[in-house]
Each structure stands twice: as structure tokens, then as C-alpha cells.
Amino acid sequence: MSVSEHQDIINQANEAVAARAKEINSGEYLLHYHLTPPANWMNDPNGLIHYKGEYHLFYQHYPYGDNWGPMHWGHAKSGDLAHWEHLPIALAPSEPYDLGEKDGYGCWSGSAIEHDGKLFVFYTGHVDANDPKEVQCMAVSGDGIHFDKFAHNPVISNSPDGECFGFRDPKVWKRGEFWYMVIGSGKDGKGRALLYRSGDLIHWEFFSVAAESDGTQGDMWECPDLFPLGDKHVLLISPMNMDGTKNLYFVGDMDYETGKFQPEDQAKLDDGFDFYAAQTFPDSQGRRIVIGWMDMWGSKMVSEKRGIYGAMTIPRQLLLTSDGTVAAKPVPELESLREQGSEYRELFLFGDEAIVLEDHVGGGSAEFILEMNLADCSAEQLDIKLCSSENELEETLLRYVVNENTLYVDRDRSGIGDGGISAAKLPDSHDGRLKIHAFLDRSSLEVFVNDGLRVLSNRIYPRSKMDRLHLTSIGGPATIHSISIWKLKNIWK
Ligand code: FRU
């Protein structure tokens, strides 16, 4: 189709979203400071980039319903990673390689780069009825808002593997004279990251299988991302069919001569239930930022039929720690969301008796930071309950068990969403310090332990807003060195 026909399809989709958005002004589970679509469906973050001084985030979007469907690329931007503004849809299915007749088609996930002042995006054209059904495509924008699909798409039309389980989610970056692209795939029951190389962004040659599952790490690697961090490289993937593990990273070394990534250690970037398809990008301050989809395939889609489904996590900065693992810390710009706050110091918990804090948790969108020294704790466990004064049956429990050195987030009594207990064991070398930094939004809870050494992201759907924190030390007394609580702003008002 012509450029203007693609634009017509986009205009129609924008109108559908705007009409639906007008009807949803006070949904009870709407998030206050997370990025969600204006209306209807969102999954993976795509095309994350710091372009001409602004952060751009595209996302998998179905503009005609709050369910997954033919994928478009929704678009938002931010000056500071904390306040977001919606922009028009960037890509819609319009060509034989991304448009089909039934549900199984669309502009699937991908990434963005800047070249000659222009914004280039790479995505997978997916059409179930085609063979091959997944091909890699490019689109270009001069203003960062309107995109023209490359006239000679696809830029990669066949997997080197022939028969394979998936060939999608291109992530592009530059190193030296070459552009590199890693693509997620799977063969013979093993997920793999395929590496391509190009001198001009148009002609791509297959370079190598950069990395492959050892047989236990999933049979298809969605949304692979390969990037330098400190003096190492990290490969981040979203594995399919890996026993409950939905995100995984490897720290290792990348050999650009052979195109091989040599993994050394592996771990999860997030131990919660709702973190998937994460993508990273470098910003102008030299930081490596990660954002994930804060939902999960197969989970109970509580907000279905409420007009919006899907959200992004808050942005986190990735850091290589001294023990060779990757920490993910909330970016400091999020402090600009703080409204009223209060701080308590040297809170003594007698054991088995709750201290109730009600400051600023009321609106259901709040942040708190609790710090303690475990030397000041003779308790067996510390419980932080997020509760509602209106509904005593509902609570979300954060429980730190001292002898296990593990933080649990228990959402079995959180409300109408999925239950389940997620757990993060802290590294043994964490020097007796416990810092729990939590971001609560109306229907989400992201918990960062010891400056992002461990992270747990979960959706929760309490019927009544949580307005209280209960602190209890169980099996002995404990002193909380400090706890600060802030109400966070609603960026959408
Ligand atoms: C991951 C994913 C990607 C795909 C996209 C489709 O959540 O399955 O592999 O490109 O979603 O929406």
C-alpha cells in the first residue's frame, strides 16, 4: 500500500483508541504513573530509544479491543522517564508481509536505532498464512512520529534454520562499522539467538548462532537483547516453555570476530509473576535502561472488558554488581513523582504486634523505602502488609524470612487477580543490610531489594484501595532504621 494508505489505516486506529479512551475515565484499576495505552491492548515494549533528547517507547498494541489482536505499534514519549505523553500509532499492518485475513498477523515486536538523524525501527512482519510467516522489516521516520515502511521489505525473509520455532523480535545496535541484529528463534527444542550483520541497515547477512539453550532454558527465545554492561556482555531473553521462568539473563563475553556469546552465569532479572519481553537501551547519560511488560501471558486478565489491558514497568537502570550479577534500580527521575511524604526513624517493633502506618498510602499509589540492619533484628521474620481499612480480608504480604535470607511477595489474598507467592533469595554477601524499596500503583507492586539486587514485579487487584502498611516482627523484636513513604502523583490527570 502507499504511504498515505498506511496513514489512513493508522488514523482509523487512532480514532478507535480515542473513542474508547473517552469512555474509560475512572476505571478502578487504572495505573497512575505507569505507562498504559490510552485504551485497549498493550504487550511488549518495542523500539526503546533516547532520540533527539526525548525517550521514545513503542509497544505492541491492539487498538480495537482490550484483547490481543493484529498488532500495531503504539507510541509514547517522555522527557524524564517518569512523565509520559501518548503519541499517534506508529505502525499498522498494511502490507502482504504484515497484513493477513485472520487474527494471526501484524507488526510484531522489534527495536529502534538512530542513523543520520532519522529514527529507524525494525520489526517482525507476521502473517500466519504466509510461508515463511515471520520476516524482518524496517520503517523510517524523520520526525520520530510518522513512519514509512521500507519499499523493499522484508530486509530478512528467511531463517537460516529453515524449519524453526519462531524467527522474530529483531534487536539492532551498532558496533564499529557494522550494524548487528539479534533475532529470537528455536530449533530442535532449544531456544537460540541468531546474529545478523549489516553495513547499511538494508542488506543483512547471517553471521552466527550467538547463543543457544543448553536444553533446559526454553525452546524459543522471545525478545532477545544483547548488550555491553560494565566489562561484560549480557544476553537477556524471554524464554518459552521453561518451567515457570519467564525472563532470564546470561552474563558473559561477546566475541565479535566469531559472533559467539560465551555465557558464564545466569539468573532472573525479575522474580515476580509479571515481567516479560523486557528490552534495554542506552541513554545519553551512558546508562543502560530496561523496561518490561508488567503482565504475563496466561495470567488472569482482570482488566479485560474494562477498556485497558497491559502496562509497562517503571524504568530501571541496569548495573553489573561486584559479584557479577545484574542489578536493576529504579531510575532516580522517578523521585519527581513524589508528592506528600513522611519519614519515621528508629521504629521499634516489639514482636507480633503491628505498627500501622497510614500516611500517604491512601490513594493506592505510593512509594516506600524501608531500611534496617539485620544486626538489630532478633525476629525470625519481618512482615510488611499492604492492607485496606475497608476490607480486612484483602492484603498483600511482603515477608522477609531472616534465616532464609529471602523476601516473599504473597498475593494469595490480594484481591480478584491471580494469587501466588513469588520469592527472591538475596545473595549471601549482602552485609546484613536490608533495604526494601516498593512502588505501589493502583493494581501493581514493584519491589526492589537492596538497590535492585533483586526485583519482584506483580499485578494485584484489590477490591478496595490499600491505604495502610502494617509492620510486624515475628518471633522477636526488631528495629527499623527508617521508613519513608510518599504519595505518588497521577501523571495522566
Ligand atoms: C512476546 C511476543 C513476541 C512477539 C509479540 C507479539 O510477548 O510473543 O515474541 O513479537 O509478543 O505480540
Query: Per residue in 5-14, pLDDT tens?
Result: 999 999 999 9
Span 418-428, mean pLDDT?
94
Q: Which of 44, 66, 410, 418 is catalytic?
A: 44
- Pseudo-torsion of CA 29, 34, 36, 42, nearest 10°? -100
Ligand 1 mean position, distance from CA 202 (Å): 23
Confidence of residue 171 (pLDDT cuts 50, 70, 90): very high
Cell 526488631 appears where?
Answer: 478
* Ligand 1, pocket residues at CB < 6 Å: 43-44, 60, 71, 108-109, 124, 168-169, 222-223, 276-277
Is 368 in contact with 485 (CB distance < 8 Å)? yes
Distance of CA 137 to the CA centre of its chain: 23
User: What is residue 155's predicted lDDT score, i.e. its pLDDT?
Assistant: 98
User: What is residue 26's predicted lDDT score, i.e. its pLDDT?
Assistant: 66
Q: CB 168: neighbour CB atoms within 10 A? A: 24
Is 187 in contact with 165 (CB distance < 8 Å)? yes
Atom number of ligand 1 nearest to Cα 222: 9
User: What is residue 493's predicted lDDT score, i.e. its pLDDT?
Assistant: 87
Ligand 1 mean position, distance from CA 447 (Å): 25
Out of 40, 41, 44, 299, mutate this one to test ligand 1's pocket (max ligand atoms within 8 Å of CB): namely 44
Protein residue closest via CA to atom 8 of ligand 1: 222
Nearest in space to 364 (alpha carbons), one of 479, 444, 305, 459:
444
Q: CB 450: neighbour CB atoms within 10 A? A: 21
Considering only 250-254, 265-269, 277-281, 387-391, which range has the smallest mean pLDDT?
387-391
User: What is residue 144's predicted lDDT score, i.e. its pLDDT?
Assistant: 97
What are the pLDDT digits (tens) for 259-297?
Answer: 999 999 999 999 999 999 999 999 999 999 999 999 999
Ligand 1 mean position, distance from CA 110 (Å): 9
Nearest in space to 106 (alpha carbons), one of 13, 194, 201, 236:
13
Ligand 1 mean position, distance from CA 37 (Å): 17
What are the backbone angles phi and psi of residue 370, rounded to the nearest 5°?
Answer: -115, 130
User: What is residue 304's predicted lDDT score, i.e. its pLDDT?
Assistant: 58
Nearest in space to 398 (alpha carbons), one of 438, 454, 344, 345:
438
Q: 365: which DSSP letter?
A: -
Ligand 1 mean position, distance from CA 71 (Å): 9
Out of 68, 108, 296, mutate this one to test ligand 1's pocket (max ligand atoms within 8 Å of CB): namely 108
What are the pLDDT digits (tens) for 127-143?
Answer: 999 999 999 999 999 99
Q: Beta partners for 251?
A: 234, 265
In the predicted structure, residue 151 carries a pLDDT above the cut 90 = yes
Instruction: Supply the pTM of this predicted model.
Output: 0.98
Cell of 398: 511482603
Q: What letter represents residue 479's amino acid?
A: T
Nearest in space to 274 (alpha carbons), one of 312, 242, 237, 243:
312
On average, the pLDDT of the chain sits at 95
Nearest in space to 138 (alpha carbons), one of 149, 129, 130:
149
Ligand 1 mean position, distance from CA 345 (Å): 46
User: What is residue 302's predicted lDDT score, i.e. its pLDDT?
Assistant: 80
Out of 67, 103, 169, mutate this one to test ligand 1's pocket (max ligand atoms within 8 Å of CB): namely 169
Residue 161: active-site member: no
d(CA 33, CA 335): 12
In the predicted structure, residue 25 carries a pLDDT above the cut 80 = no
User: What is residue 291's predicted lDDT score, i.e. its pLDDT?
Assistant: 99
What are the pLDDT digits (tens) for 50-83?
Answer: 999 999 999 999 999 999 999 999 999 999 999 9
* Residue 66 to residues 63, 84, 139, 297, Cα–Cα distance (Å): 8, 21, 26, 14
Atom number of ligand 1 nearest to Cα 297: 7
Half-sphere CA count of 377, side-chain side, radius 13 A: 23
Atom number of ligand 1 nearest to Cα 293: 7
The rounded percent of the chain whose pLDDT value lies above 70 is 99
